Amino acid sequence: MQGLLNELRRTHFSKNVDINLKDQEVLIMGWVHEIRDLGGIIFILIRDKDGMLQVTAPSKEVTPEVLEALRSFRKESVVAVKGKVQESGRAPNGVEIIPSEVTILNPANQPLPMDPTEKVRAEIDTRLDSRFMDLRKQNVSSIFKIKSQMLHTVRNFFYENDFTEINTPKLVASATEGGTELFPITYFEKEAFLGQSPQLYKQIMMSSGMDRVFEIAQIFRAEEHDTLRHLNEAISIDMEASFLDDVDVMKILEDMIHKVLEDISTKCSKELEILEHDLKVQKTPFPVVKYDDAVDIVNSRDVEMEWGEDLSRAAEKALGESMEGFYFLTDWPSEIKPFYVMPNKDNPINSHAFDLMYKDLEISSGATRIHQYDLLVEKISEKGLNPDAFGSYLKAFEYGMPPHAGWGVGADRLTMVLTGSNNIRETVLFPRDRHRLTP
């Protein structure tokens, strides 16, 4: 039984075709990237997921049928080329392919919606409207290869540290942290919402006795931001661990970030080179800045900040200008943190909450959580929320909830750091913001 491709089967990807295959026959498949027809010789660059290969067709060495087929190629058409590998100092990988058989698997319409060679640069909206073609560019696909390796490293890190991966609901009955920044949906006869965070479910899991859990999944925030660092759908890397406090989980976060930096530097060196991004592997421990000191630093740079305020964008910039790389912000005021954050026993005005920053970009928030039922109910009420709306969550605290702590990392923001991207939309395949719901 013949399949769609008949006898055509790719033998090599571009990265595997090198001088060691000289005089051997290969069959490659990919997209037509560039065409140069000089009359007596045709040069064609074929692109696949790993890079490019040059097909060289001198009129004296290939058949008229092959030359005719090559001249019918159009940019971005999908093709298969069979031929012998020859040495060529100017070609990618130092080799070229002299074709003996070519097949057009699917022609591309012309003109193209954008130029994937970037000879004509496109604005971000044009690129996102034709994201399938934008991703054909090596600098764009490199971002997502780095992101893939980051997520791979993170999962391995959690497994190696005895964490259990969980999957929590993204359709919820009430807000995780209160407020109105929720996307309502119709859920049969009821109103439901898209989940802001797995926070409450992570804490419930602490009562289950599973001890250490993590999740990598979407979160949804109905915030009307229109900035280079906010999206309404994002990927969050979350963990929660029993019998640990904020200092303990800060160390876990620090170790994970350091491992990510190491792995990306070594395993994605080609992609970093394509992006022209010099990624530094920061030494540990990361610097720690207390909230009180951060307020002083911000004010010293002529940006007004009152104690008890969250960091404004101007304050983030001012603080980032005084810091290099990753650093922790600790001892946040309890008033501006969610109800489940543990206040400082000796000075309740402060809390056991922290952020991980990279220069002026917030990467992560975490804290020691409140594990005592009565105190949790009190804090929910203090935030102007109704404890009755949190019944299934609070129930887990009545029957043996251990002390615990955790954090969440914005995977897309971390990818910005790893790739040197200035716009978070560059790090998401199909970003969702207040203006974009397609593709």
- The pLDDT tens digits of the residues spanning 277-322 come to 999 999 999 999 999 999 999 999 999 999 999 999 999 999 999 9
Q: What tokens does 200 get?
A: 């409450």
For the CA atoms of 53, 59, 61, 66, what is the dihedral angle to 10 degrees? 70
Give the list of residues 6+ apart from residue 110 with CB closer than 8 angstroms, or none.
74, 75
CA distance 130 to 126: 7
- List the alpha helices (DSSP H) in 104-174: 124-129, 131-134, 138-160
The yes-or-no verdict on residue 120 having pLDDT over 90 is: no
Give the list of residues 6+ apart from residue 124 with CB closer than 8 angstroms, or none.
423, 425, 426
Residue 179 binned pLDDT confidence (cut-offs 50, 70, 90)? low
The yes-or-no verdict on residue 119 having pLDDT over 90 is: no
Return the pLDDT at 7.
84
Residue 1 binned pLDDT confidence (cut-offs 50, 70, 90)? very low
State which fold the 14-106 domain adopts.
Answer: OB fold (Dihydrolipoamide Acetyltransferase, E2P) (2.40.50)
Q: What tokens does 315 get?
A: 């304050």
CA distance 210 to 197: 19
Determine the average pLDDT of the residues in 421-427.
98
As annotated, the residues of the chain forming the CATH 2.40.50.140 domain(s) are 14-106
Domain 133-287+323-427 matching CATH 3.30.930.10: the answer reads yes
CA distance 87 to 80: 20
Kindly report the pTM of this predicted structure. 0.95
Mean pLDDT of the chain: 95
Pairing status of strand 184-187 against strand 212-220: unpaired
Return the pLDDT at 3.
61
Determine the average pLDDT of the residues in 191-197.
93
As annotated, the residues of the chain forming the CATH 3.30.930.10 domain(s) are 133-287+323-427
Strands (E), 38-173: 41-48, 51-58, 78-87, 95-106, 164-165, 171-172
Determine the average pLDDT of the residues in 371-399.
95
The yes-or-no verdict on residue 251 having pLDDT over 90 is: yes
Strand partners, 26: 83
CA distance 135 to 427: 11
CA distance 10 to 438: 33
Residue 5 binned pLDDT confidence (cut-offs 50, 70, 90)? confident
